[in-house]
């Protein structure tokens, strides 16, 4: 995988004219192929078809991070990751975005996971249920808040449900968590 990335990088450098004559000469000595692969240009079509075929064969089997189990074929997860990066950088066409959204691939798995955890917390808290299963999530929110890495939107949502950003350790809280 590292070798293929390096080869792709060298090809791009060559075609963008970012390569020194000395480097070109060294690569030519080992019969380096400077031609861009057709596969590079149609990465979306190739990857999308592989993903569709995978879904037809195996169904949707999402991992914790929102990817797919690839049954030994890493190209599916690589394709999804590349789509997410290209989407974030506004490099996908509207048609490509529609195709990906049609098969319910999550653009930002971390955000989706946070939202699901927040909904679970909100449900438990509003119904007076024990929050013990949410301890690590609650502590992470407090830590992110304290470090200034929790977004304004998330702070607003948490404040709407009376989230306590400072940990309190009274006997009633501890007993409620342990229930």
Q: What is the pLDDT of residues 74-133, one digit of tens each?
A: 678 888 888 998 898 888 889 999 999 988 888 898 899 999 999 999 999 888 888 888
pLDDT at 111: 92
Let me know: does 177 contact 131? Beta carbons within 8 Å. Answer: yes
Q: Of residues 167 and 114, which shows the higher confidence score?
A: 114
Assess contact for 115 and 109: CB atoms under 8 A.
Answer: no
- How do residues 34-55 score in pLDDT, each as one tens digit? 776 544 457 888 888 888 888 8
Mean pLDDT value across the chain:
80
Answer yes or no: are the C-beta atoms of 80 and 68 closer than 8 Å.
yes
109-147: buried (b, 16+ CB within 10 Å) or exposed (e) per residue? Answer: beeeebeebbeebeeeeeeeeebeebeebbeebbeebee
């Amino acid at each position: 995988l590292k070798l293929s990335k390096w080869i792709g990088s060298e090809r791009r450098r060559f075609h963008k004219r970012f390569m020194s004559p000395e480097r070109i000469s060294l690569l030519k000595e080992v019969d380096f192929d400077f031609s861009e692969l057709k596969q590079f240009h149609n990465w979306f079509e190739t990857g999308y078809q592989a993903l569709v075929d995978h879904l037809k064969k195996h169904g949707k089997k999402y991992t914790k991070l929102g990817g797919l189990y690839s049954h030994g074929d890493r190209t599916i997860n690589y394709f999804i990751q590349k789509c997410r990066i290209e989407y974030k950088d506004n490099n996908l066409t509207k048609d490509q975005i529609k195709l990906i959204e049609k098969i319910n691939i999550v653009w930002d798995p971390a955000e989706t996971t946070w939202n699901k955890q927040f909904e679970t917390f909100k449900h438990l808290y509003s119904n007076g249920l024990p929050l013990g299963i949410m301890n690590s999530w609650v502590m992470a929110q407090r830590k992110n808040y304290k470090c200034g890495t929790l977004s304004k939107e998330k702070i607003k949502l948490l404040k709407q449900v009376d989230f306590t950003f400072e940990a309190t350790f009274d006997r009633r809280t501890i007993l409620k968590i342990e229930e």
